[in-house]
């Protein structure tokens, strides 16, 4: 079955990036959100990001125009029933994702593949709530989607080989590399990355170093392009906490206990760049450490 039309649920940071790369690769994209303003902002952001690619001669102006013409938006989740593949990129909360799939499933064509961009939640469990667990898998893009070369493909216990191969073919058409992961909490990237960020939070919490020294140490001492606390702000502290909770609950190991300071920042609404404050304060001309 050739996939031509792709539905993307969620017009946020991940959803607009996924819509962007799919449209550039020649797929027709139907982007869905519950908020028209979010859809409008997503389309405008995609246009700006495509303009940046044109200026860097990554694509031509004609490529940009063709990609924008392939992107349509809708507030009606049921409209995605006519797509060949759906990528859910809503917030990283299982109850939200389950509600979306419950609402969408009755409208799907028999051949439609369902996928989730979840960074940590059980694919098997999400799939079990649908009428097609064999046509369900994890399709985890990295942020920012247009720049990052990796996509994690996660098979649930029921995912069939045809579904996997269809998703693998899409990754290859996007010019990205697939990493196949088993369906265990947080998969590969976040199983390793988020506990490192959590440990950086503990290092700050225990007073071993301040924000600037921890980030400088890892950038200059381990050659990381971003320090772990700066990266946490970029990802979103609420997302980091959600993934740590999935790891802690799913693996029942105390080494995955979320740092109390990370919890406190999330409780304060200091979620990182998107909120204007996190481990850095972004409200001025340049980021300033908050501890």
CATH number of the domain enclosing 48:
3.40.50.720
Residues 69 and 111 in one domain: yes
Residues 94 and 159 in one domain: yes
Residues 164 and 46 in one domain: yes
Can you give the pLDDT at residue 159? 97
Sign for the pseudo-dihedral over CA of 33, 35, 38, 42: positive
Residues 140 and 278 in one domain: no
Can you give the pLDDT at residue 111? 96
Can you give the pLDDT at residue 2? 87
Catalytic residues: 119, 140, 152, 190
Residue numbering of the annotated binding site for NAD(+): 10-15, 33, 92, 97, 119, 143, 274
**Residue 275 domain boundaries:** 191-289
Residues 152 and 210 in one domain: no
Residues 124 and 207 in one domain: no
Residues 176 and 92 in one domain: yes
pTM attached to this predicted model: 0.90
Residues 12 and 117 in one domain: yes
Residue numbering of the annotated binding site: 10-15, 33, 92, 97, 119, 143, 274
Residues 175 and 216 in one domain: no
Pick from 182, 200, 233: which residue ends a domain? 182
Pick from 149, 182, 215: which residue ends a domain? 182
Domain count, the chain: 2
Per-10-residue mean pLDDT, the chain, length 291:
94 96 98 97 97 96 98 97 97 93 96 95 95 97 95 97 97 97 95 98 98 98 97 95 94 97 98 97 96 95
Residues 35 and 148 in one domain: yes
Residues 176 and 34 in one domain: yes
Can you give the pLDDT at residue 92? 86
Can you give the pLDDT at residue 64? 97
């Amino acid at each position: 079955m050739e996939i031509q039309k792709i539905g993307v649920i969620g017009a946020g940071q991940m959803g607009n990036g996924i819509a962007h790369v799919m449209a550039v690769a020649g797929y027709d994209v139907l982007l869905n959100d519950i908020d028209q303003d979010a859809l409008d902002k997503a389309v405008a952001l995609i246009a700006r990001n495509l303009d940046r690619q044109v200026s860097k001669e990554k694509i031509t102006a004609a490529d940009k125009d063709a990609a924008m013409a392939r992107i349509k938006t809708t507030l009606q989740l049921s409209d995605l029933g006519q797509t060949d593949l759906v990528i859910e990129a809503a917030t990283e909360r299982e109850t939200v994702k389950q509600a979306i799939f419950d609402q969408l499933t009755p409208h799907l064509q028999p051949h439609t593949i369902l996928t989730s961009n979840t960074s940590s939640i059980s694919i098997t469990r999400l799939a079990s709530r649908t009428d097609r667990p064999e046509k369900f898998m994890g399709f985890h893009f990295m942020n920012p989607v247009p720049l990052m070369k990796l996509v994690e493909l996660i098979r649930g216990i029921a995912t069939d080989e045809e579904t996997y191969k269809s998703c693998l073919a899409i990754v290859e058409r996007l010019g990205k590399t697939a990493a196949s992961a088993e369906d265990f909490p947080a998969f590969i990237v976040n199983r390793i990355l988020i506990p490192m960020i959590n440990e950086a939070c503990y290092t700050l919490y225990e007073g071993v170093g301040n924000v600037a020294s921890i980030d400088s140490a890892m950038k200059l001492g381990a050659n990381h392009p971003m320090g772990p606390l700066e990266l946490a702000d970029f990802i979103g502290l609420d997302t980091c906490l959600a993934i740590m909770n999935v790891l802690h609950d799913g693996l029942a190991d105390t080494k995955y206990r979320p740092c109390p300071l990370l919890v406190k920042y999330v409780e304060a609404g200091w979620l990182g760049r998107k909120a204007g404050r996190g481990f850095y304060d972004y409200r001025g001309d340049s980021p300033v450490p908050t501890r």
